[in-house]
Structure 1
């Protein structure tokens, strides 16, 4: 698998981004302001993610999606780890990600990659999306916020 950043003249894989976020308007807005990376295998795009700086020292993984036939094969994990490395190379201190309360697989993936739950934006999806989102038989209501500290952890030498 090859992961690379899209150039300005390359088409954004909107169909793939819409798998993770059903609002074309919202996706188009953050793609304009962020950096888009694609995973390619066998001559085609199999996965995508977008990094978006949100405030000083912080970048957010605002969208990550993998074609259904490539899910469960490690592509998502490779994309998340690539995003971590890109954020570190760009000298960000924190990488954040938000996902739906109903996104059971994604919540597990992020935590396996070292992210910790920071909080919950209650009713985020109910307030920001016109149609209900149901995933894994669960109504997606809340945004679960996770973050990863990108700073090397020093040795605590005490006082």
Structure 2
């Protein structure tokens, strides 16, 4: 167990091999890994993002676009309890919904020349092949 903020990472052969974690003592430690599991926390501390010029209201980021969950700073997205907007419900389910929309909103920044096609795991042969599952048979 290591307390801190992930401040960097290393890859080897195209795979995540190490993260750099800066602890509360200011020391950055290198942590080799094969897998990274991210858990949802309940601490509303903003840390360094408080200085990024984001529209912050009572320790929450005001989301200006609930279609993409992009903040007032282009290219920065907010999902989950960190954000606020009219009608916001603080539910884990809402956070997953917001994350899906933010991922589609972020795609043009990450892949500016690529068109993103919506595919469903239940019906897409391409996704079945990638996931290594058989296509379901529907009557």
Query: Which TM-score band (shorter chain)?
Result: under 0.3
Taking structure 2 as the reference length, the TM-score comes to: 0.25
Larger Rg: 2
Between structures 1 and 2, the one with greater strand share: 1
Return the structure number with greater relative CO, CA threshold 8 A, min gap 6: 1
Taking structure 1 as the reference length, the TM-score comes to: 0.23
Between structures 1 and 2, the one with greater helix share: 1
